[in-house]
Amino acid sequence: MNILKNAEKYAEGKANQAITKAIADAYIEGYKAGYKAREEEIPMDLRDNKTEYVDLGLPSGTLWASDYERLGGKYIYLPYEEAKHMNLPTVEQWKEVQNCCKIIYRNEDVFDKEVIRATVIGPNGKSITFFTTGYIEDGKVSENNAFFWLYDEREDLNKKTVQIYSSYCSGNLTNGSPIHSHFAGYKLPIRLVR
C-alpha cells in the first residue's frame, strides 16, 4: 500500500467535496437573491393572493382570472410600473377573447349608479365577467368605465388598456371593448392571465 497514493486520493476527494459544496452554496445564494429580487417586484399586497383562473376554451390555452385582483374584498388598483411584473394579458390575448368568445354587454342601475357588465362566454361555455371598476387619477376615482392594464413593452408614458364603457353596452357585440392607451401613472384594477 502506497501511503503517497492514498494521501493523494484522499486529498483529491476532499478537494472535490469542497469544490462541490462551494458551487452548491453559491447556487443556493444566487437562487435566494434572484427569488428575493423577483418577489420584491410584486406588490406586497399581492404576494399571497390566491387567484382563481377560468379556462374559456381558447385556442391558445390562455386562462383568465375569474375576477380582478382583490385584497380584503376590495379591488386593488396599481399604476402600470407596479402591475407590469404580474401576468397581465397581452393585446393578442385580448384580441383572442374578442375573436373567439361571445361578449354580452349590459348596463345596470345599482343603487342609482350605472354599472357596466361585460360577460365573456368562451367557446366551451364557461364565462368571466368584467364590471365597472373605474380608475384612480390623482387620488380621484373615475367610476364610469371598466378598465384593466394590458402588457405593453413600449417605452412610453402611456400604456395599453382595455376600456369597457357605456356606449358599447347595447347588447351583444363581438368587437367592442377597444384597446386604448392611458397614462401609466393612473391606477387601474388588475386582471391576470396564465
What is the model's pTM?
A: 0.69
Question: How far apart are alpha carbons 132 and 126 in whole angstroms?
Answer: 21
What per-residue confidence (pLDDT) applies to 45?
45
Question: How far apart are alpha carbons 124 and 58 in whole angstroms?
Answer: 8
What per-residue confidence (pLDDT) applies to 175?
46
What is the four-CA torsion angle of 28, 32, 35, 40, rounded to 10 degrees?
Answer: -170
Residue-wise burial string across 66-77, b where 16 or more C-beta atoms lie within 10 A, e elsewhere: ebbbeeeeeebb
Question: How far apart are alpha carbons 42 and 35 in whole angstroms?
Answer: 11
**Could you tell me the CA-to-CA distances from 90 to 66, 86, 109, 160, 180 in Å, in that order?**
17, 12, 31, 9, 13
Structural domain boundaries in the chain: 1-41, 51-189
H-type alpha helices, the chain: 3-41, 80-83, 91-100
> By C-alpha distance, which of 170, 153, 152, 169 is closest to 161?
152
Please, which contacts does 109-112 make with residues 24 or more away whose CB atoms are closer than 8 Å?
Answer: none
pLDDT in tens, the chain (194 residues): 677 777 777 778 777 787 878 787 777 777 666 655 555 555 544 455 589 999 999 999 999 999 999 988 889 999 999 999 999 999 999 999 999 999 888 877 766 666 778 899 999 999 999 888 888 888 887 776 778 999 999 999 999 999 875 444 444 444 456 788 889 999 999 999 99
Which cell numbers hold the place of 113? 349608479
What per-residue confidence (pLDDT) applies to 18?
78
**Could you tell me the CA-to-CA distances from 113 to 54, 92, 106, 109, 116 in Å, in that order?**
28, 33, 13, 5, 10
